[in-house]
Structure 1
Amino acid sequence: MWNNRSYCHAFVVELEGVLCAVLADPIGNSLDIWKLKHGEWGRAYIVHLEAWPDYSLGRNVVVPLAVDPNDGRMLLNTGKKLGLYDPVGRTIQNLCSLDQPITCSKGQQSAGEPNRMDGEIWPLVPMLYEENLGCYPRVAKTRWL
């Protein structure tokens, strides 16, 4: 929790090579993303999820993974779904859903590409674990004279 009086959850991510703090508001169903640049925090993005029940903050933890430098679309991960959020249209294009079997139409697969239905190719979902952010104290070495 951000603090004991707030209903927002907070976590840290790296976007565009910069440390970002994310405030997830389950009541407003939005993500406020703040960037640390030049030693100061400033709001960088607001992700509106109210129209997307599969990305609801009341039922999921939605983690922004990357921002497309060309058009500003943001890759979102719920752990079971990957989607591209378009901040202009406030839409999400689902890229992958682990709730449903993976399908592939013949038009999407090229002749030299392995069959995606055989189970050998599965989507990769990058995750950030708390252990990656931990700071462990150094063990003091005794000096020998």
Structure 2
Amino acid sequence: MKTIPNKKIPEAMIRLWQRRGKMLCLKIDGHSMRPSFQRGDQVELVIAEIDIHHLKTGDIIAFLQDGMIIVHRYIKKKKVGKQWQICQRGDHLRGFRWINAQQIIGTATAIHRNGRRIDFGCWYHTIWNRFLGYLSWLWILGLETR
């Protein structure tokens, strides 16, 4: 599996990868998902068309923003008119942001750190990701009710 730096990637190429269900590793360059992801980690992504109704709170999603691939935690969804909006948040960020569902390009399945692979599908990480997702959900609920 090829590791790519998180630089601007043409959207047409990403959409082609989506249709083919490409797997790739993306080198983490920021700090928005600390401590879950550290700078220099490589996150394993499945770039594919995603049915947002199968996403669960706490899942790690990849989405496009200004030509960059961003990896954050999925919190919840809502329908605005005929479009679905997705609430996403980086673990290390105070805020949250709603994005269009069409911006989602895939999901994270594992992370590579210090020569070892950490699989998000194992029971421990599944529970941990749900827990962190619901903590964010409760925090956002508090902000929205103020």
| Shorter-chain TM band | under 0.3
TM-score by length of 2: 0.27
TM-score by length of 1: 0.27
Q: Which has the larger radius of gyration?
A: 1
